[in-house]
A and B are shown apart, each in its own frame.
Chain A
Amino acid sequence: MHPFTAGLHRNISKIVPVILFFALWELAARYGRFSTSTISPPFSTVILEMAALFKSGVMMKNLVSTIGRVLIGLSMGMISGITVGIVMGLRDTVGRSLSPIISILYPIPALGWLPLMMLWIGINEMLPIAIITIGTFFPTCYNTAAGIHNVDRGIVSAAQILGASEKRILFEVILPNAAPQVFAGLKLSSGMAWRMVLAAEMVAIPTGIGALIMKAESLVRVDIILACLVVLSFFCLFFEKCLEIIERKWTGKWSCHARN
């Protein structure tokens, strides 16, 4: 099959189910069992409400707060996770010492930290950031350490024998080869960050998309709740796609080798 036709076919097979899903939603909400109730608005109503929220500035104001928290928390979680992961992957003693602690803390659902953080940090702007940082630190750290650990020792020896310094070996040999697994951790963290921010805003913070959802819930405005969820879903996907593009740009030419 011609590459263009194959690409078109692939895109159609991705888009068609999404269109069908929204069409089914629209039809079910208009002509289904709950068609007269306000608890199941059609897709078009949700989109119109979303447009109205954007027009009035309510959605944008809350969205900016949420994105800001996600960006700060995610950056902190990623930077600290990558740094600790690198040290764990490079230094066996550190890796062995920290592994049990990470193994104990990693399985704790990030939401489990919320009550503790509310007491330690208080209910303020730092709370969602701290929760996101904790939630994204573990998958990033774990995957970075594992990625570095899995790098073929042979290529490290080859670099040493060719006269590369430790810094060059880290940045030009180890990290590029660990990149596919590091990115797997980052993509996991990115999704985690959006779940965390929503939870923190719903429980404790009066601004942001999570808080808007809670206000809508108290007013039984399902259309607003759904509009917020659609926006959240879009941004979550957008962040993941951005990471995917960076990964492809960095490792695309050779990473099929790493995957094989």
Chain B
Amino acid sequence: MPEIKIVNVSGNNCLNLNLTIRDGEYFVIVGATGAGKTTLLNMVAGMVDYTGTVSIDNIDVNQLSPFKRGGGYLFQELALFPHLSVSANIAFGLRAQGYAKSTVKKRIALLMDMMRIDHLDRRYPHMLSGGEKKRVALARSLAPSPKILLLDEPTSNLDHQTAKYLRGELHSLLKRLGITTLHVTHDLGEAKEIADRIALISNGTIEQIATPSALFSDRQTSLCLQ
């Protein structure tokens, strides 16, 4: 699985970011609203302009379109296609990339089973609960077997119980698949629970990078959190 390297990246409200996310690592960026978390994800995805270099799997992807960067993206608003059923939502990327019909069918069945949403295949997004929508959106972003996965507040707008459950599932699933994951959240507790490493971001700059255990024993952290 690839490594993500962010070197001297600036853009929008982010300034001179440097970050390396290792192969298969579950990396969480924590920051308050407006700190630049989503901007950072969008820069890695290639959806906004920036200066500096983003490389994925040791390839400079600055000139590549979002799709050619090979990443999956779970949007905070999920961005499910309202006019497509659950199975059609998951199949969208596969069909767009020209996979054979039989492969698409098998992959949908596998992902729906993996995300435990196989009973929802004919439903439309407006018929789903918040947690079900998140699962469908995750299945859709995993469908084309992305090299990296970008998660924007994947447990926002869920009740505490569902969020905790989904977090656990998400972490174990992505670890099992070995996908390099960049997850942004405002919830430090969530980051502590699932991250291999955590970066604290504030006013568009990265203040600190550490493992959860190191971060919570560090006096500097409390300063950053303030």
0/1 string, A175-193, CB within 8 A of B gives 1: 0110100000000000000
Stretch at the interface among B8-16, B20-28, B92-100, B181-189: B92-100
Please tell me if the beta carbons of A161 and B96 are within 8 angstroms of each other in the complex.
no
Per the 8 Å Cβ criterion, residues 130-159 of A in contact with B are: 152, 154-155, 157-159
The proximity string for B residues 114-142 relative to A, scoring 1 for CB distances below 8 Å and 0 otherwise, is 00000000001110000000000000100
Interface size on A, residues (CB 8 A): 25
Smallest Cβ distance from B132 to chain A, in angstroms? 14
Contact B67 A160 (CB under 8 A): yes
B79 and A155 form a contact (CB under 8 A): yes
A256 touches B65 (CB 8 A): no
Q: How far is the CA of A227 from the CA of B124 in the complex (A)?
A: 47
Among A33-41, A94-102, A163-171, the stretch that binds chain B is A163-171
B69-77, B200-208, B210-218: which lies at the A interface?
B69-77
Question: Within B93-114, which residues are at the interface with A (CB < 8 Å)?
Answer: 93, 96-97
Tell me the nearest residue of chain A to B42, going by C-beta.
Answer: A157
A-B contacts counted at CB < 8 A amount to 73
Q: B45, B75, B97, B124: which contacts A253 (Cβ < 8 A)?
A: B124
Q: Do A163 and B75 contact each other (CB < 8 Å), given the known contacts A176-B83, A257-B126, A258-B82?
A: no
Can you name 20 extra interface pairs (CB under 8 A) apart from A160-B66, A161-B72, A177-B82?
Answer: A152-B77, A154-B77, A155-B81, A157-B47, A157-B73, A158-B81, A159-B81, A159-B96, A160-B65, A161-B47, A161-B67, A162-B67, A163-B144, A172-B92, A173-B81, A177-B81, A251-B83, A254-B83, A256-B126, A257-B126
Using a CB–CB distance below 8 Å, which chain A residues touch chain B?
Answer: 152, 154-155, 157-165, 168, 172-173, 176-177, 179, 251, 253-254, 256-258, 260
